[in-house]
Amino acid sequence: MLSIATKFILTALFLNSCWAIDVNPRYVPHYHVYPPSGWMNDPNGFCIFEDEYHLFYQYNPYSSQEPGVAHWGHVKSPDLINWEHLPTAMTPDQPYDINGVFSGSAIVENGTMYLLYTGNVNNPINKQVQALAASQDGISVVKYPGNPVIEGADFQPNIRDPKVWKHGDLFYMVLGNSFDDNTRGRVLLYSSPDLISWTLESVLDESDGSVGHVWECPDFFELDGKYVLLFSPQGMQAIGDKYKNFFQTGYVVGNFDYENEIVYTYNRILENLDHGHDFTLLKLFLDGSGRRVFVAWFSMWESVHPERNDGWSGQITIPRELELTEGLRLLQKPVKELDAARGPKLRSGKAKAGYTLGLEAAAADIRVTAPRLQDFELLLESDDSTLSIKYDYRRGTVTLDRGGDDGVRRTKWRPEGNLIWQVLVDSSSVELFCGEGEVTFSSRLFPNGALKIRLGDSSNADDLTVYKMLRTIAAPGDN
């Protein structure tokens, strides 16, 4: 057990910063990206630059209680799993971004890392413009003197979150937007020969009135011959077990043609990408080997998580690889590099109903194989919290219940063969991957005291393998 004295450690003055916030390490993750102190929201600028992965994020270095005026925080990694905190990459210091260096993306071209982001201004009226910045060394970032590169006068006040990619000789960008007096969300498509001069090509897709009033953090990409449009709509109404969070993140799948008239047709209603409580606003990139890998903000607006009082707030999901099934559903798997975080095997083999395993630290990778025609429940229990994950084989549903108000999330799922689950547990989070990744749940939980794994009554596992997970990002004060 940690003594009270070591629980409250002062973080070292962080790199070039002149501030310091006390960080209580009780809920600080072992292997998920989190801010060294202060507030984190959505991930930005995910890319590979000079053989290293770079990830930026919306950052308030001054307080863990509120988003404040957004900066860009920065981490990098050789393998998507071991992360190093870097100095703040961008601060709100220009007339066009003075009320926030909002979200955006990265593209590496001619050995330079280009960052496209939204500059937010609140006075005299709310205005969002798109701006360009560049880094030659992957650390220091210089804003383009000719900013903004898109004024978007006809699309105010919500036009943001540029995602940029290259196709042929042209760069393309999708932007989230609202229209009809901010009652409906949509995605705009732009093109550019040089990242500086941008032309509006089309409205890629828009809400019919039932899919939220603003669409944020859009992404648009080819996957297995189809085109996927991902976005986070604000303000959707819950329908049964669907759309229960304050923010949704979902996708539609369709066809797209760059050569002829630009047309996007979608053939399904918005599918939730994840079914947990704390998952939204993702960033995706195409890595050198053709993988579509994304990370999402592993928290939720309106959720007042207790870590806010600990000097830090917000974390990022484990990077996940996307695949598309023939039925046009997305599958998500943790990237294979996650093995780099895997420590000793704590147990494996059959486990009977009621089996219990105490964990030394809340950092584990749990693999379950169980018969298909049987209910199955896995519990994570601490002195003051219980989280239950339950498969109901008659109904064909998976339910995650973390207790408290609005504790339940549920969705349909039936395994094709055996029930197979992977559960990634960290100090204040759980990520569940079902089967081949056809269903995932990402939820935060805040256990105090030792955590134990227990199998529910009549929940027999053919195999229960548990690995301890290692620390892959510095603990507060280790810098």
Number of residues this chain uses to bind ligand NAG (CB under 6 A): 4
Q: Does 106 bind ligand NAG (CB under 6 A)?
A: no
The least distance separating ligand NAG from the CB of residue 450, rounded to whole angstroms, comes to 53
Mask: binding to ligand NAG, 384-403, rule CB under 6 A, as x and -? --------------------
The least distance separating ligand NAG from the CB of residue 196, rounded to whole angstroms, comes to 8
Report which of 404, 382, 401 is spatially closest to residue 390, judged by C-alpha positions.
401
Say if residues 155 and 180 touch (Cβ distance below 8 Å).
no
CA atoms of 342 and 350, how far apart (whole Å):
21
The least distance separating ligand NAG from the CB of residue 107, rounded to whole angstroms, comes to 8
Q: Which of 40, 133, 164, 195 binds ligand NAG (CB under 6 A)?
A: 195
Strand positions, DSSP E, 320-381 = 320-324, 330-334, 342-347, 356-359, 364-370, 376-381
Nearer to ligand NAG, 131 or 469 (CB): 131
Looking at the DSSP assignment, which residues form a beta bridge with residue 435?
Answer: none
The least distance separating ligand NAG from the CB of residue 141, rounded to whole angstroms, comes to 16
Length of the chain: 479
CA atoms of 294 and 113, how far apart (whole Å):
18
The alpha-carbon radius of gyration of the chain (Å, integer) is 22
Nearer to ligand NAG, 110 or 260 (CB): 110
CA atoms of 476 and 163, how far apart (whole Å):
32
CA atoms of 299 and 64, how far apart (whole Å):
13
- The single-letter code of the amino acid at 124 is P
DSSP 8-state secondary structure symbol assigned to residue 471: P
In the region spanning residues 260 to 299, those forming contacts with ligand NAG, defined by CB under 6 A, are none
Q: Which of 194, 224, 257, 360 binds ligand NAG (CB under 6 A)?
A: 194
Nearer to ligand NAG, 109 or 137 (CB): 109
The least distance separating ligand NAG from the CB of residue 423, rounded to whole angstroms, comes to 43
CA atoms of 177 and 158, how far apart (whole Å):
5
Nearer to ligand NAG, 108 or 262 (CB): 108
The least distance separating ligand NAG from the CB of residue 110, rounded to whole angstroms, comes to 4
Q: Pseudo-torsion of CA 240, 241, 246, 251, nearest 10°?
A: -100
Mask: binding to ligand NAG, 23-42, rule CB under 6 A, as x and -? --------------------
Distances in Å between the Cα of 339 and the Cα atoms of 277, 317, 345, 428 are 26, 15, 12, 20
Contacts 24+ apart (CB under 8 A), 251-256: 251/330, 252/205, 252/228, 253/226, 253/227, 253/228, 253/229, 253/324, 253/328, 254/226, 254/227, 254/229, 255/226, 255/227, 256/220, 256/222, 256/227
Nearer to ligand NAG, 109 or 257 (CB): 109
Looking at the DSSP assignment, which residues form a beta bridge with residue 48?
Answer: 53
DSSP 8-state secondary structure symbol assigned to residue 326: T
CA atoms of 366 and 148, how far apart (whole Å):
48
- The single-letter code of the amino acid at 39 is W
CB hemisphere CA count around 270 (13 angstroms) = 28
Residue with tokens 């540029």, as numbered in its chain: 162
- Give the residue at shortest CB distance from ligand NAG: 110
6 φ/ψ angles, rounded to the nearest 5 degrees: -80, -15
Mask: binding to ligand NAG, 137-176, rule CB under 6 A, as x and -? ----------------------------------------
Nearer to ligand NAG, 192 or 427 (CB): 192
CA atoms of 413 and 415, how far apart (whole Å):
7
Q: Which of 50, 109, 224, 406 binds ligand NAG (CB under 6 A)?
A: 109
Q: Which residues are catalytic?
A: 42
CA atoms of 248 and 332, how far apart (whole Å):
17
Nearer to ligand NAG, 113 or 400 (CB): 113
The least distance separating ligand NAG from the CB of residue 244, rounded to whole angstroms, comes to 42
The least distance separating ligand NAG from the CB of residue 177, rounded to whole angstroms, comes to 25
Nearer to ligand NAG, 195 or 230 (CB): 195
Q: Does 110 bind ligand NAG (CB under 6 A)?
A: yes
CA atoms of 370 and 415, how far apart (whole Å):
10
The least distance separating ligand NAG from the CB of residue 194, rounded to whole angstroms, comes to 6
Binding residues for ligand NAG, rule: CB under 6 A, are 109-110, 194-195
